[in-house]
Amino acid sequence: MIRNIIFDVGYVLVDYTWKYKFKELGYNDEGVKRLAAGIFGGGVQGEALALWHRYDNGEVSDAEVRADILRRFPDDGAALTWFFDNAGDWCTVRHDLADRLKTLKEKGYGVFLLSNYPDRLWQIHVAARPFHTFVDGEVISYAEHTGKPEPCFYQCLLSRYRLKAEECLFLDDRAENTYAAEAFGIQTLTLDSEAARQHAIEVIDALPPLKEPCRVDWIETADLLLAKGQLSDWRAMFENVWSHAETAQYMLWSVTTSETDAVSRMERTIRFQAEHDTYLVYDKHSMQAIGFAGLEQLDADTCGETGIALGPAFVRKGYGRQIVQALCRRAKTVYGAKTFIYSSREANMASRALAQSLGFEPLDCEARVDERNSEPYTIIRYRKAL
């Protein structure tokens, strides 16, 4: 049974109109083809194809791509300058499919994007579009430094969001990309003609509402995924987090010293997370567990974090900031909270600095005793309006 719909973006959810502007600027069909080959490659300009491929994969900057193409086509500066300066003008939404993302969500399906796209153009062409609000997750080449039809790109999507291949339907305009997806057992539709596109729309429209809608039980940031733990995570949590005294120092738990205890701790964690809004923290690209975080509703207008920890190899990377910001967003959007509470031990200077950098203000403090060693400590609570 299909439960998740995966969309490519270019020529599936959006279209491009730059060729019409080139014609307005006086280029005939051959001139447009030459410019397109120079920009994107198109199988004609090997150097250009390699450059745009690297651009898609986040390996070269916007400035480098622009400079290289202008260098190779000095006589076409006006057209190429327009192309780079007006990226938002030559991309349009294909509403026949894009508008159906909302309907798919209403029917209970998971909606995902799998696309080769440069960072800057993604922000302009996709991230700002209304249809993007209905997307549950995405794997984009600029962030992963690889793309379709590489097998690891598809595996990244399946692993990150814990999707079952046989429950997924993938729509793409290129046959080599759908063939690669089929190797994983993903069902596909290749939109390589208007007839094929119309057929895909009919298939999407015919999908029945799911009796058990897909649940989005994760929180995503630029580099992290906060998701419910699995038993297989015990080793990563043991090696990255639970076995480190420096991680436990400002927490309320004791260091785990054996693999057997780590498995038992993972089992307890899973049971706890099933009943609370708490998560393991995963590095989004490797999908190894590197910490934990969570939140709870304190009253009708207030939420607070329930503990945030990252293994020592993963601090000072900006991850704590991403986690707190993500928890604040969830508090506001899911619980309707107007205030978020963040707590820190007085001695934890890094945690206090993070709170202050995010605009939290001191609320109160409380003297406590650490039950692990009977040492006194002070908790400072911070408050931020959402």
Rounded to 5°, the CA angle 111-297-220 comes to 30
- Measured CA to CA, the distance from residue 331 to residue 383 in angstroms comes to 13
113, 224: one domain: no
pLDDT for 38 equals 87
250, 199: one domain: no
Total domain count for the chain? 2
- Measured CA to CA, the distance from residue 258 to residue 235 in angstroms comes to 10
Q: Which residues pair with 189 in a beta bridge?
A: 171
pLDDT greater than 70 at residue 47:
no
pLDDT greater than 60 at residue 348:
yes
The pTM score is 0.89
Of the three residues 189, 216, 243, the one that is the final residue of a domain is: 216
pLDDT for 49 equals 62
pLDDT tens-digit readout, 356-378: 999 999 999 999 999 999 999 99
pLDDT greater than 90 at residue 336:
yes
Of the three residues 180, 198, 216, the one that is the final residue of a domain is: 216
CATH of the domain at 308: 3.40.630.30
pLDDT for 44 equals 42
pLDDT for 43 equals 40
CATH of the domain at 110: 3.40.50.1000
Q: What is the extent of the structural domain holding 252?
A: 219-385
Whether 39 contacts 51, CB under 8 Å: no
Here the tokens at position 13 are 């959810």
299, 360: one domain: yes
Q: What is the mean pLDDT of residues 67-77?
A: 92
Q: How many residues does the chain have?
A: 386
Mean pLDDT of the chain: 95
pLDDT tens-digit readout, 129-172: 999 999 999 999 999 999 999 999 999 999 999 999 999 999 99
Q: What is the mean pLDDT of residues 23-36?
A: 94
294, 244: one domain: yes
Of the three residues 194, 216, 238, the one that is the final residue of a domain is: 216
